[in-house]
Amino acid sequence: MLDVVVAGGGYVGLSVAVAIKQAAPHLQVQVVEAAPEEVWKKDVRASAIIAAATRMLEVFGIWSDIETEAQPINRMIVTDSKTADPVRPVFLTFDGAVEEGRPFAHMVPNVALVGALRGLCERLGIEIRHGLSVSGFTAGPQSTAISLSDGSSLDARLLVACDGVRSALRDMAGIKTVHWAYDQSGIVTTVEHERSHEGCAEEHFLPSGPFAILPLKGNRSSLVWTERTADADRLVASDDLVFEEELERRFGHKLGPIRPVGPRRAFPLGLTLARSFV
């Protein structure tokens, strides 16, 4: 019998598995991940990692591996304006460091973060089983019987759900949620620009929603561009000329000419609140 089964092999599930195994090396920990083995390498997104999370990764012993790909966020500015406004007044500014030499956040490519966690799982002896999801479970007094999508089963003392915002395990456990759909989607892509961002993140509140410019290593930035879902789908499907023209209207010229360098995808936005966590 296993001690812990973690459902979900993204950075949340992997972090949970690693934290448990490092705290109690004698425990048998296994991760089951629905996606095929190589899918994580195709993730073009980047994540904002706050200082507390970098401390966690330092405790894991892998922050030094990730830091070479991480861009410190030294400053953040927030504006509120219309798309066509020539000037966007700054309403809020966040800057400074948590402590000497420690920025309040970093931008980290998901591939670098997940890759480091997966490497650590391998070194700790945490098995990651791909192409499997939890199809059902029965909780007993001493263990939980877990049914997997390939027809096999596992027994574990603890089953942890890290299977995303639309968690099937959460539904199976009868944990109720409250959900609001915003009828908005976030367009995610990466751009190159002529001038340095100097580690500054920007969030422009435009009529259609926030337009976030998040600094990456080199003269690159990750964008989260919010539009009504129908408009976001139209922009993602448009030709490069239309997309770049609309992008430039929102991005502006402060960093010189810009050029999209990665694929573009739209992710629906909403709010989900769980009524309990256990």
pLDDT tens track for 191-216:
999 999 999 999 999 999 999 999 99
What percentage of the chain's residues is helix, strand, coil (to nearest 5)?
25, 45, 30
pLDDT recorded at residue 60: 98
Beta carbons of 36 and 133 less than 8 angstroms apart: no
Token pair recorded at residue 178:
């409250």
Contacts of 71 (CB under 8 A, 6+ apart): 106, 107, 108, 199, 215, 216, 217
User: Is the alpha carbon torsion for 20, 22, 28, 32 positive or negative?
Assistant: positive
pLDDT recorded at residue 271: 95
Give how far Cα 256 sits from Cα of 76, 164, 189, 194, 208, Å: 19, 38, 18, 5, 24
Contacts of 91 (CB under 8 A, 6+ apart): 78, 79, 80
pLDDT recorded at residue 113: 97
Name the stretches of the chain with pLDDT < 70: 86
Helices (H), the chain: 11-23, 51-60, 63-67, 110-124, 168-172, 229-237, 240-251
Q: Domain spanning 179-274 has what CATH number? A: 3.30.9.10
φ/ψ of 90, rounded to 5, equals -85, 125
Helices (H), 200-239: 229-237
Q: Angle of helix 51-60 relative to helix 110-124, nearest 10 degrees?
A: 30
Residue ranges per structural domain of the chain: 2-65+109-174, 179-274
Question: Buried b vs exposed e over 88-116: b needs ≥16 C-beta within 10 Å?
Answer: beeeeeeeeeeeeeebbbbbbbbbbbbbb
pLDDT recorded at residue 25: 97
Mean residue pLDDT of the chain comes to: 94
| Beta pairing partners, 99 | 102
Cα-based angle 58, 60, 62 (whole degrees, multiple of 5): 65
CATH class of 2-65+109-174: alpha beta
User: Is the alpha carbon torsion for 69, 74, 78, 83 positive or negative?
Assistant: negative
